[in-house]
Structure 1
Amino acid sequence: MKKSMCAKWFEIKLWKKLIILFPITFIIIFVVLFETAPVNLNASNISEIYIGMHSMMTDDIITGKASIKGREDVENVVCSLNRIKAIRGKYSAEELSGEPPQAMITCYDEGDNEIYTVKFYDGFMMVDNELYRITGKVYKELAELCDKYGECQIN
């Protein structure tokens, strides 16, 4: 009679199971820790973002206009709300102390109607008047977006 994989698993000695499971567990823990690490974007980081005038053919991508502190507005910026949804938690607006945004991206639909504006502060971003702490994953997504579809630097 042929044994199932589950039955065979129970016959394997404990030390062999540990050898199999340890690397898998280590990889899972490593990925979870580094995907959720918060990153603080300060004024110097934000002011170094140069977003070029490029567009792309993807359903979840919308073009918009970027207003970056100390620079001219740039039209046809690639922005996607789906890429910005990787957030850790909401925070109150009082944490901003009324500072002006360090960078701002306004996204429009095909009819040039404003859909939403993303405002970047020191370690925070505001989307549709809701404040979110910027996580490492969001910072990575923004960096990849700039590198792939625009001319920018994030230091």
Structure 2
Amino acid sequence: MKLSTREWVTPVVSGAIVWLLVTLFFRYFGHHVLVSVTHDLFFPVFLGLEAVTAIALYLVGLSYHLIDPSKYGLVRFGMLGTAVGLMLDSISLSNHTLFFPHMSDEQVLSFSVWVVFAYGLHLDPGLAEHSCTRPSKGVV
């Protein structure tokens, strides 16, 4: 299946924008919201961050569906947005002192744990897709 330019550029650019916004959030606030993976509060903080992430991704999916309402638009966004984000995060994590100057090494590890789980959520576009599609008439 061949994708038109719009079908791959839109999710790639959207994925890069989401990555930039998340990176900026953790650049300026990460040292306030992340704790060491060995800290007693790591698991509750991790769960809280992932809950907020799931809600944010749901809203991003709803917004993306306005840009690309096609049948597989959210699937393309999940796949291509994740691919772009993972590539950019490999750069930001390998240069973490430049991207996250206020985070300790333990907080960078905590960020890495968070981001891996967050990409798992990003790969599940069904979170928003079911809210965006309406059943056809006659379906119970």
Q: What TM-score, normalized to structure 2? A: 0.23
Q: Larger radius of gyration, structure 1 or 2?
A: 1
Going by fraction, where is strand more abundant, 1 or 2? 1
